[in-house]
Amino acid sequence: MDTDTYGRKEGWRRARVVEVGGIESPMKTLQTDCRSELGPNPPYTRFAVVSYNVRGSPRNKARRISAIPNDLDLQADDLVFVNIQNCFAPLRKGWSA
Protein backbone atom coordinates (compact mmCIF):
# COMPACT_ATOMS: atom_id res chain seq x y z
CA MET A 1 0.00 0.00 0.00
CA ASP A 2 1.20 3.53 -0.71
CA THR A 3 1.37 4.72 2.89
CA ASP A 4 1.97 8.34 1.85
CA THR A 5 -1.16 8.58 -0.28
CA TYR A 6 -3.45 6.00 1.33
CA GLY A 7 -2.38 5.71 4.97
CA ARG A 8 -4.08 3.74 7.74
CA LYS A 9 -3.99 6.71 10.11
CA GLU A 10 -6.02 8.68 7.58
CA GLY A 11 -8.62 5.89 7.46
CA TRP A 12 -7.67 4.10 4.23
CA ARG A 13 -8.09 0.33 4.02
CA ARG A 14 -7.67 -2.24 1.27
CA ALA A 15 -11.05 -3.53 0.14
CA ARG A 16 -12.79 -5.66 -2.46
CA VAL A 17 -15.85 -4.49 -4.40
CA VAL A 18 -18.85 -6.71 -3.69
CA GLU A 19 -21.56 -4.87 -5.63
CA VAL A 20 -21.92 -1.71 -7.75
CA GLY A 21 -25.08 0.38 -8.08
CA GLY A 22 -26.62 3.83 -8.17
CA ILE A 23 -27.76 6.13 -5.41
CA GLU A 24 -31.21 4.50 -5.37
CA SER A 25 -30.00 0.90 -5.71
CA PRO A 26 -31.19 -1.43 -2.95
CA MET A 27 -27.68 -2.31 -1.74
CA LYS A 28 -27.43 -3.51 1.85
CA THR A 29 -24.62 -3.35 4.35
CA LEU A 30 -24.35 -3.93 8.09
CA GLN A 31 -21.98 -1.03 8.64
CA THR A 32 -21.93 2.46 7.10
CA ASP A 33 -23.95 3.59 4.08
CA CYS A 34 -22.24 6.75 2.84
CA ARG A 35 -25.10 7.56 0.47
CA SER A 36 -27.10 9.06 3.35
CA GLU A 37 -24.15 11.12 4.62
CA LEU A 38 -23.53 12.82 1.25
CA GLY A 39 -26.87 14.66 1.28
CA PRO A 40 -29.67 14.96 -1.27
CA ASN A 41 -27.46 16.04 -4.22
CA PRO A 42 -24.24 14.03 -3.91
CA PRO A 43 -21.33 14.72 -6.28
CA TYR A 44 -21.28 11.02 -7.24
CA THR A 45 -23.88 8.92 -9.05
CA ARG A 46 -22.46 5.42 -8.49
CA PHE A 47 -21.72 3.60 -5.27
CA ALA A 48 -20.23 0.26 -4.26
CA VAL A 49 -20.55 -2.16 -1.40
CA VAL A 50 -16.99 -2.98 -0.37
CA SER A 51 -15.63 -5.56 2.06
CA TYR A 52 -12.48 -4.96 4.09
CA ASN A 53 -10.59 -6.58 6.97
CA VAL A 54 -11.17 -5.34 10.50
CA ARG A 55 -8.37 -5.37 13.07
CA GLY A 56 -5.98 -6.70 10.42
CA SER A 57 -7.60 -10.12 10.31
CA PRO A 58 -9.01 -11.68 7.12
CA ARG A 59 -11.51 -13.51 9.35
CA ASN A 60 -13.08 -10.26 10.55
CA LYS A 61 -14.77 -8.45 7.66
CA ALA A 62 -16.78 -5.25 7.54
CA ARG A 63 -18.85 -3.83 4.70
CA ARG A 64 -19.74 -0.30 3.77
CA ILE A 65 -21.25 1.56 0.85
CA SER A 66 -18.88 4.19 -0.57
CA ALA A 67 -18.93 6.55 -3.54
CA ILE A 68 -17.26 5.72 -6.85
CA PRO A 69 -15.63 8.65 -8.67
CA ASN A 70 -17.56 9.42 -11.86
CA ASP A 71 -14.48 8.73 -14.01
CA LEU A 72 -13.63 5.36 -12.42
CA ASP A 73 -14.99 2.12 -13.87
CA LEU A 74 -15.43 -0.49 -11.12
CA GLN A 75 -17.09 -3.88 -11.01
CA ALA A 76 -17.49 -6.71 -8.49
CA ASP A 77 -14.18 -8.23 -7.31
CA ASP A 78 -12.11 -5.14 -8.18
CA LEU A 79 -9.55 -4.21 -5.53
CA VAL A 80 -9.79 -0.69 -4.13
CA PHE A 81 -8.87 1.58 -1.24
CA VAL A 82 -11.78 2.72 0.97
CA ASN A 83 -11.67 5.46 3.58
CA ILE A 84 -13.53 4.25 6.66
CA GLN A 85 -13.34 7.64 8.41
CA ASN A 86 -14.61 9.95 5.68
CA CYS A 87 -17.67 9.30 3.49
CA PHE A 88 -16.71 12.28 1.31
CA ALA A 89 -13.55 10.44 0.18
CA PRO A 90 -14.55 8.25 -2.79
CA LEU A 91 -13.06 4.84 -3.54
CA ARG A 92 -9.62 4.68 -5.13
CA LYS A 93 -8.48 1.86 -7.39
CA GLY A 94 -4.99 0.53 -7.15
CA TRP A 95 -3.62 -2.42 -5.22
CA SER A 96 -2.75 -5.98 -6.13
CA ALA A 97 -3.71 -9.06 -4.14
| Per-residue model confidence as pLDDT tens digits over 44-71 | 999 999 999 987 777 889 999 999 999 9
- Number of separate domains in the chain: 1
Q: Is residue 88 part of a domain?
A: yes
Q: Is residue 7 part of a domain?
A: no
Q: Is residue 20 part of a domain?
A: yes
How high is the pLDDT of residue 2?
Answer: 46
Q: Is residue 4 part of a domain?
A: no
How high is the pLDDT of residue 4?
Answer: 52
**Below-50 pLDDT ranges, the chain:** 1-3
Q: Is residue 26 part of a domain?
A: yes
How high is the pLDDT of residue 18?
Answer: 96
Q: Report d(CA 79, CA 95) in Å as an integer.
A: 6
Q: Is residue 3 part of a domain?
A: no
pTM: 0.85
Q: Is residue 5 part of a domain?
A: no
Q: Is residue 77 part of a domain?
A: yes
Q: Which helix (H) or strand (E) holds 36?
A: helix 34-37
Query: Which residues form the domain of 26?
Result: 12-93
